[in-house]
Amino acid sequence: MDFVNILLEKKDDGIAIVTINREKALNALNSDVLDELAVAFDELDKDDSVKCVILTGAGRSFVAGADISEMAPLEAAQGYKFGKKGMDTFMKVEKCSKPVIAAVNGFALGGGCELSLSCDIRLASSKAKFGQPETGLGITPGFGGTQRLIRTVGSGMAKEMIYTAGIIGAEEALRIGLVNHIYEPDQLMDEAIKLATTIAKNSASAVQYSKSAINNGVQTDIETAMEIERSAFGLCFATEDQKEGMKAFLEKRSPEFK
C-alpha cells in the first residue's frame, strides 16, 4: 500500500518511526488514516529488522481525535462499525510484538489520547494536551478510552477526564501517570529515539516476551498471570539471546544479540 496519510521510516538501527501526517485536520483519524495505520503495524509486527517503534504526529498535533466530519452523519450501526475499525487498528498497535513509544507532540484528544494509550510508553512535549472530549460531543469514547484509560491512570482520574471532557496539560498528565516524561518540544523526538535505541540494544526476543507477558498478565487473575510469566521465562531458554546474554556476562563483556 502506498501511504498518503502517514509516513513510515525504518532506520538502520532497528527503530521505525510512524508519523501521522494529516496536518490540515490536526491528524484527525478518518477511515483512511486508520486503514493505513493498520497496514503499517501489520508490516512492523512481521519485520524482524524492527526492534522498537515510535509513533508521533506531524505539525502541532499528535492526533486531535477521530474525524468529526466523518462521524457526524453516522447512524447507530455505522457508529458501531466505525468504533470497531478504530479499536481493531489500535489493537494492532497494542499487540504489536515490538514496543511502541508514543511521542506526543501536541493535541492527544479523544481518539488521539486513546491511540497513545494503546502504545507501551508515552513521552510528552511540554506543549502536549490530553483529553477525552467525547461527552461534550454527545458520544462516549469509542476507540478504547473507557477501558485503557482506567487501566493506566485508575478509575477516579479516568472518570473525571471522561465525565468532564476536560483537557489537561503535560504536567498534569505526568502527575497522574498518563505520561512517563516531559521534554521541550525540540527535544521530544531525540529523547524518543534515545529511549528506543536503549530498548533496541537489548534482546529483541526477551523484550517481546516481556511485552506479551505484561499485556496478557495484566488482564487476568494473579495465578494465571504468573503462569503467563513462567511460560515466557521458560521460552527464553530456547533462544540464542539467552545463551549469548549469560555467556557474555560470565565472560565480562557486552552481549552481541543478533
Active-site positions read 114, 134
Q: Is 109 in the site for ligand CO8 (CB under 6 A)?
A: yes
Q: Map the footprint of ligand CO8 across residues 86-105, applying CB under 6 A.
A: 86
Q: Is 117 in the site for ligand CO8 (CB under 6 A)?
A: no
Task: Compare residues 55 and 109 and give the one whose CB is closer to ligand CO8.
Answer: 109
Q: Map the footprint of ligand CO8 across residues 49-68, applying CB under 6 A.
A: 64-68
> Binder to ligand CO8 among 18, 22, 40, 82 (CB under 6 A)?
82
Q: Is 133 in the site for ligand CO8 (CB under 6 A)?
A: yes
Q: Is 26 in the site for ligand CO8 (CB under 6 A)?
A: yes
> Binder to ligand CO8 among 20, 124, 142, 205 (CB under 6 A)?
142
Tell me the number of residues near ligand CO8 by CB under 6 A.
24
> Binder to ligand CO8 among 7, 137, 176, 214 (CB under 6 A)?
137
> Binder to ligand CO8 among 41, 62, 143, 257 (CB under 6 A)?
143
> Binder to ligand CO8 among 41, 90, 107, 183 (CB under 6 A)?
107
Q: Which phi and psi (to 5°) does residue 146 adopt?
A: -70, -15
- Interface contacts to ligand CO8, rule CB under 6 A: 25-26, 28, 64-69, 71, 79, 82-83, 86, 107, 109-111, 133-134, 137, 141-143
